[in-house]
Chain A
């Protein structure tokens, strides 16, 4: 089954704030037109089989985050067709959905369920998640008393234990100490061996070269190149050297 297919997908965002746009609409249409910009434009992207590791590269503002948001379903496309087969786990920002006033345990259930797990699934995985995050002694302490590092580790640990078919990783690698990073890497590897598709956004090109099979290069919201990681990264680095690869130019 094709895990991900995007056909001429476009995503338009409002540049300013919405009430001002509304005011423009009321006062006349001309200004209202320029309020919009295209974060993604005519993007075609197909993964033909599950189990691929794909790196997503490009300058800041080239549409990488929007691309992940479209696949995770956080945002709907403005144009085009999006087909996603499989449970998606976003490892985008590990603190999303967490409640500082709830305890670590309550947060594991809350976030685990928000990410699509059933209550009994979370209960079954509770000890593994806690073990992985290394927060065993603090399980019944409100999250607000955790250190930032502990919160991030916990969030990451919950998300990475969702039995997902498609995993979206957005620069989450810098979390935790060397030991935690090694553990995270091993867990992703295990998921990959179970035929999970992994999309991996990073500015660390060497990490992408080592850890992915294919790479997608986004430039100004369009696909600049998609193919084997080594080739795409070489082309990207060439473009950067020549000053051709830039983000959104206002």
Chain B
């Protein structure tokens, strides 16, 4: 068996892709991803509401049964904020799984910046976020919640959230190319993560032995942060915000680095 020479490969290519072109393509891919998801359904975008509404109803029932303390916050509002934040993470993660592995034909024929594929899953999930945001606005009006200046924290929280999503999206889409097991594992992992995150309960209810784990779950800091800023008119709890930020940025850095390192092998493995 020939083992070939051992010089490292070099590739030089001009002209380079322009960033404007990449952004345009990302936008087009994202728009198509959104429209494909709801095209040819009767309710169209209505489906975006359905899951959070169904879950809010279920949670209200659980709340009745389990008496979850939420302080002065009406429980539907408490759960809805948690759900919208969680839905964005869950949707992006589950969408990312096939963004790369599902594009065999494309990736084997045409060279394009592959990172755009997982990123289109992130951007298209933001469309769902907008629709769910409208639902939140409706709830806020209904419960006469007054917004304080602490909503200024929302953009910061959102950036942390976004970096987490970008990292997860890179990792999940890449991992599913090399091990299709990931595609099967993700739904179960998401379910586990959902119950481990304070979506329908406050993080203050986490049992003592799990507090450490819960704190380093980035979704804990994010959900509690959004809740504090939106519903309590308080800044996000610092002891949860910092771990969320550290973990999210770390996941983004690791995800981007892995993607960069491995993307050259994607079309060979598919």
Contacts and interface: CB of A to CB of B under 8 A. Distances in A.
Interface of A: 8-10, 12-14, 18-19, 22, 33-34, 36, 38, 41-42, 69, 72-88, 90, 92-93, 95-97, 99, 101-102, 106, 109-110, 113-116, 118-119
B268 interface: yes
A139 B267 CA distance: 31
A218 to B, nearest CB: 16
A81 B9 CA distance: 6
Given A113-B24, A118-B24, A119-B28, A86 B9 contact: no
Residue from A10, A88, A90, A92 whose CB has the most chain B CB atoms within 10 Å: A10
Contacts of B6: 79
A74 B28 contact: no
B12 A83 contact: yes
A50 to B, nearest CB: 13
Contact of A72 (B8, B25, B110): B110
Contacts of A76: 9, 11, 264-265
B13 interface: yes
B109 A79 contact: no
Interface string B187-220: 0000000000000000000000000000000000
B146 interface: no
Contact of A95 (B1, B7, B36, B105): B105
B184 interface: no
Interface stretch (B14-22, B77-85, B150-158): B14-22
B10 interface: yes
B105 A93 contact: yes
Interface string B2-45: 10111111111111010011001100110010001001100000
Nearest to A101: B36
Contacts of A79: 4-9
Nearest to A10: B4
B147 interface: no
B112 interface: yes
Interface string B99-117: 0000001111111100000
B179 interface: yes
Contact of A38 (B2, B21, B39, B110): B2
A85, A96, A99 interface centre (most CB from chain B within 10 Å): A96
B178 A18 contact: yes
A34 B3 CA distance: 11
Contact of A74 (B14, B40, B108): B108
A72 B111 contact: yes
Contacts of B40: 101
Interface in B220-270: 264-265, 267-269
Top 10 A-B residue pairs of the complex, sorted by shortest distance between their CB atoms = A73-B111, A96-B109, A76-B264, A81-B10, A10-B4, A77-B9, A97-B106, A83-B12, A82-B11, A113-B25
B7 A85 contact: no
A14 B109 contact: no
Given A84-B12, A93-B109, A116 B32 contact: no
A139 B108 CA distance: 27
Given A18-B178, A76-B264, A113-B21, A85 B105 contact: no
Given A74-B108, A106-B32, A82 B24 contact: no
26 contacts: A8-B7, A18-B178, A38-B2, A41-B2, A42-B4, A74-B109, A74-B111, A75-B267, A77-B11, A81-B9, A82-B9, A82-B12, A85-B13, A87-B15, A90-B110, A96-B106, A96-B108, A96-B110, A97-B106, A99-B36, A101-B39, A106-B32, A109-B28, A113-B25, A116-B21, A118-B20
Nearest to B29: A110
Contacts of B106: 96-97, 114
Interface in B64-80: none
A184 B105 CA distance: 23
Contacts of B24: 113, 118-119
Contacts of A83: 11-13
Most buried by B among A19, A79, A101, A118: A79
Contacts of A102: 32, 36
Nearest to B103: A97
